[in-house]
Amino acid sequence: MPAKTAKKKNAKKKKEERLPTGVPLLDRSLGGGLRIPSAVLVIGPPGSGKTALCVQFAASGEDSIYIATNNYPEEIVQIARGMGLELKARFVDGYSWLVGKEGGVDLSDLTGFLEALDNVLSNARVERICFDSLSSLFMYNTDKQVEKFVQAMIALVKDKRACMLLVAEEGTFSQEMHSMLEFLTDGTIELRDNKLFIKRMNGIKPKRVEFRFDVGPKGVELD
């Protein structure tokens, strides 16, 4: 085989590397999972299953980081157990700060937050990262500050060749910011009315774009 042809095939194979989400039917629709590296926006109203999807994703590998800003890390672990999953992720605690507990990261100091995440990423092998949720940041920072933070964070994640889910609560930020988040990320998964929609995913055309979504004793289930 000519050297140039071999190089092209190897380059194509590298571009098509996928990381399973932990939800088999979703993986089949995405051609094997999320493209490595990538950052995907997960959006929907409260109670639509966004955290459950993140927990399923994080618990599906050994090398995971879970950034929690809406719950204590212990609560996320309990949610996982309720889904029949054992979550062994490293946590970045962005929730304890809200009640003045030590050990958490300050949501109003995005530079410090980014440094804390960079420190974790620099000292660990990481494949999966969940940020649950970005909406908490808008309570303490301007849209422009959050935009710069998200852009820098995604760059860190991709430098590690990891995949990230970024949760956002519908209605907690402007339409302009929604558009910016979609611009910065590689795909959008929307959850609502017990359904999961793949709104977009860079690089592929999903085989299916809509699934019935449920959380049972065996975790997230689609059909």
Joined together, the tokens standing for residue 210 give: 């809509």
Residue owning tokens 């995907």: 40
What's residue 7's pLDDT? Answer: 52
Overall residue count recorded for the chain in this entry = 223
Q: Do residues 131 and 94 make contact, with C-beta atoms less than 8 angstroms apart?
A: no
Those residues whose C-beta lies under 8 Å from the C-beta of residue 100, and which sit 6 or more positions away, are none
pLDDT tens, N- to C-terminus, the chain (223 residues): 455 544 544 544 455 799 999 999 999 999 999 999 999 999 999 999 999 999 999 999 989 999 999 999 999 999 999 999 999 999 999 999 988 888 789 999 999 999 999 999 988 899 999 999 999 999 999 999 999 999 999 999 999 999 999 999 999 999 999 999 999 999 999 999 999 999 999 999 999 999 999 998 889 999 9
Alpha-carbon separation of residue 195 from 27, 44, 55, 135, 191 (angstroms): 16, 10, 17, 21, 6
Residue 120: domain span: 36-222
Both structure tokens of 214: 């449920």
158 neighbors 39 (Cβ within 8 angstroms): yes
Residue 209 contacts residue 10 (beta carbons within 8 Å): no
CATH assignment at residue 141: 3.40.50.300
Number of domains in the chain: 1
CA angle 218, 221, 222 (to 5 degrees): 165
**Residue 150 resides in a domain:** yes
pLDDT at 21: 97
Query: Is 15 within a domain?
Result: no
Tell which residue, 131, 132, 134, 113, has the closest CA to residue 177: 134
Q: Determine, yes or no, domain membership for 52.
A: yes
CA–CA distance, 91 with 129 (Å, rounded to integer): 10
DSSP strand E in the chain: where?
Answer: 18-19, 34-35, 38-44, 64-68, 90-93, 128-132, 163-169, 187-192, 195-201, 210-216, 219-222
